[in-house]
Amino acid sequence: MTKTSTSKTNVNLPTQNMFQSTIDNESDAEIDLFYDQIKSKLDVLIKNPSDDTINRILAYSNIK
């Protein structure tokens, strides 16, 4: 027969500060820099469909 036991100490429990969020200003700056670099490329992706295109999409969606 196998004997099992439970530790009376809290060695396996998470510590209080383990789940506290940390503010990393360096990461925020990196994210902002990355966004600034790709912003113009994202603007190119903006599409302005014609009314005809929208009407064809709506007509197709009503068929199903």
- Does residue 20 belong to any structural domain of this protein? no
pLDDT of 20: 52
- Measured between its terminal Cα atoms, the distance across the chain in Å is 65
Closest by CA to 31, choosing from 17, 23, 21, 47, is: 23
pLDDT tens digits along 6-18: 766 666 666 655 5
- Does residue 33 belong to any structural domain of this protein? yes
What pTM was estimated for this model as a whole? 0.35
> Residue by residue, what is the 3-state secondary structure of 12-37?
CCCCHHHHCCCCCHHHHHHHHHHHHH
If one compares 31 and 4, the residue with the highest pLDDT of the two is 31
Range of the domain at 57: 26-63
If one compares 1 and 18, the residue with the highest pLDDT of the two is 1
- Does residue 7 belong to any structural domain of this protein? no
pLDDT tens digits along 20-37: 555 566 688 889 999 999
- Does residue 43 belong to any structural domain of this protein? yes
**Per the structure, how many domains does the chain have?**
1
Rounded to whole angstroms, the maximal C-alpha distance in the chain is 77
- Does residue 16 belong to any structural domain of this protein? no
- Does residue 17 belong to any structural domain of this protein? no
| Residues 41, 47, 53: CA angle, nearest 5 degrees | 160
- Does residue 36 belong to any structural domain of this protein? yes
